[in-house]
Amino acid sequence: MTRTAIIAAFPGELKSLVRGWPHSTRNGVDFWAQRDAEDEWIAACAGAGQDAATRAFAALEDGGPIDLAFSVGWAGALRGSLAPGTAHNVAGVIDIQTGERFNCDAEAGEVWLVTSPRVCDEEEKRRLASTYGAGLVDMEAAAIARLAAMREIPFYCIKGVSDGLNARLPDFNRFLSPNGRMKLGRLVLFAILRPWYWPTLLGLGENSRKAAQRIADTLQEFLR
């Protein structure tokens, strides 16, 4: 049986994909699973950042060896041509902390992605685009790419654009806990008291929903 691991940061990134799949939670990791006679698809999320992605990967391996790994979820656009709400096959991943580069196994990869330790504002996005020639930025993919390379298994990456290059958003870093979980209560309170962010946050929510659906469509097509 082929075990395909699908790893994201937050449940919302997987919602469209795992609708109807059995769900469980263990040690702070959310799991979903689906199988047939020949294949098993297992999805997990443990929060934002490479440490959280590593925990999710390890938790999936507790059930047996992984044969194929996907990093999926939301990413920020580093180019104006990558519209919010769209999804893209990634050609390769760069860890900006170590300089490591990982090629994805997908031949149809459209853009390179950089993995950053922080949520990036417009200024940082432009710097990353200029420095690395990448089109997207996330916080997890390099960890999954590294673990897949260590195990010599195929690695794929599908990312949906949640925020465009020029998005003027709150500093989400202040609402991330050390374990990569979003402090939703603090974020909601912050937003309620700052109505000038409301239109942007509503747009972010809608674009994120669309991006999650596009990720699911792309991944389901790939698996077929």
Q: Check which CATH number belongs to the domain holding 190 and give it.
A: 3.40.50.1580
| Cβ neighbours of 105 (radius 10 Å) | 13
**Number of structural domains found in the chain:** 1
Which backbone phi and psi does 46 adopt, to 5 degrees? -135, 5
Residue 60: both structure tokens together: 């999936």
CA distance 219 to 98: 28
Cα distances (angstroms) measured from residue 84 to each of 48, 68, 140? 20, 28, 19
pLDDT at residue number 223 = 74
Domain containing 100: what range? 2-223
Q: Where are the alpha helices (DSSP H) in 97-177?
A: 122-132, 141-151
pLDDT at residue number 37 = 82
CA distance 106 to 223: 12
Segment-wise mean pLDDT, segments of 10 residues, the chain, 224 residues: 95 95 95 90 97 97 95 97 96 97 84 97 96 98 98 97 94 92 92 93 95 94 77
Which long-range contacts does 118-123 make (Cβ < 8 Å, 24+ apart)? Answer: 118/173, 119/48, 119/76, 119/171, 119/172, 119/173, 119/176, 120/76, 121/169, 121/171, 122/165, 122/166, 122/167, 122/168
Q: Where are the alpha helices (DSSP H) in the chain?
A: 11-18, 50-61, 122-132, 141-151, 184-192, 198-223
CA distance 74 to 66: 23
pLDDT at residue number 160 = 97
pLDDT at residue number 189 = 94
Which backbone phi and psi does 125 adopt, to 5 degrees? -60, -45
3-state class (DSSP) for residue 160: strand
pLDDT at residue number 30 = 97
